[in-house]
Amino acid sequence: MHKANHHSARASRVVRLGDPVLDRYLEFVESRARHNTLLATASDLKTFFRIVDKAPADVTPADVLGFVTEQRKPKGDGRVVRLADGESGLAARTIKRRLSSVSGLFSYLVLCGDVATNPV
């Protein structure tokens, strides 16, 4: 009984972005990873595709580089700096995680035959 409740609770927290290609990938991630990993992946992909406003099949390496550049830009008024390195913008660790999520999507799409190469 406990497992059934756990499964139904997890099923009620379905994470989707509303794009058929991205949602198919999120279903794949959901079947293989913890829920927090799914949430982070969905957030990373949402951020990426909000900045790179293209369909996955149209994303180029230049788009990925543009995304990284955008992530490194100072946020807000530029007066806030990271304690770790004195720089502004997102931490390198956050950018790497986001790129890892995007790369995972494109590796999956290459395997499925939806794109020819991984632009990351």
Which residues touch 49 (CB under 8 Å, ≥6 apart)? 17, 19, 22, 56
* 4 confidence band (pLDDT: 50, 70, 90): very low
Return the DSSP state at 113. Answer: T
35-59 average pLDDT score? 96
3-state secondary structure of 90: coil
3-state secondary structure of 69: helix
Cα torsion at 58, 48, 16, 30 (round to 10°)?
100
What are the phi and psi torsion angles at 20 (to 5°)?
-55, -40
Q: Is there a contact between 95 and 60 (Cβ–Cβ < 8 Å)?
A: no
Say which range, 7-11, 51-55, 69-73, 111-115, has the weakest mean pLDDT: 7-11
Residues 56-95 have pLDDT tens digits of 999 999 999 999 999 888 765 555 444 454 455 678 889 9
- Considering the chain, what is the average pLDDT of its residues? 84
36-62 average pLDDT score? 96
Residue 7 pLDDT exceeds 50? no
